[in-house]
Amino acid sequence: MSHYYFLVSSLPYLNYDMEKIPPMEYFLKLCREHTSGNDYDLIKSAVMDDCGQKATSSGILNKWYTGERNLRNKLVILRARKKGVYPERYLRPNPDLSVYERTAQEAFQEDSPLAAENLLNRERWHYLDELELGHYFDTDELIIYYLKLQILWRKMNFDREKGMERYNEIIEKFSGEEFPREDNVNQG
């Protein structure tokens, strides 16, 4: 794996509570200029909202995607139970549901969607901190940095009014839709 001593050491330190966030475009520009083509493509492919069903050449990115699928699957199960629907058709294939189990439960119990999202993002940040151990100046360090930047920008773009509008749109859209219930699925 390549090492990028100058690039990594020149990047600003990221903190979950920081308010002045470096632009992602600037980070990607630096990576394009200072990394190999393959490494740049791998860094750019690390998208927070993608759960990466295909394995990558980065063990760190594969672990991130596995953890993200675990978190989302756990949330699907909790939401399905609350609605009384059968969750299996909404689950993504993944080996282990133990990652993020406590966090998913805590987020699910939050009254505020914004508070729940903040809790999930903090836990994602801590997970990236764990993955970062032992990775200094390498491509995986840059992947983790990029994922953290995405978390910060996502957090910064939360807007209570827009969130309520979107929430109401979703509720309106799905209010009349029928979902299979667990008790109906087994009755054939």
Counting the structural domains of the chain, the total is: 1
How confident is the model over 59-99, as pLDDT tens digits? 999 999 988 988 888 898 898 988 999 898 888 887 765 66
What percent of the chain clears pLDDT 90, i.e. is strictly above it? 54
In this structure, the dihedral spanned by the alpha carbons of residues 108, 21, 39 and 120, taken in order and rounded to 10 degrees, is: -10
Q: What is the DSSP string of 68-136?
A: HHHHHHHHHHHHHHHHTB--GGGPPP-S-S-TTHHHHHHHHH-S-HHHHHHHHHHHHHHHHHHHHTT--
pLDDT tens digit sequence for 99-125:
677 888 899 999 998 999 999 999 999
151 lies in which domain range?
A: 5-185
Q: Tell me: pLDDT of 185 over 70.
A: no
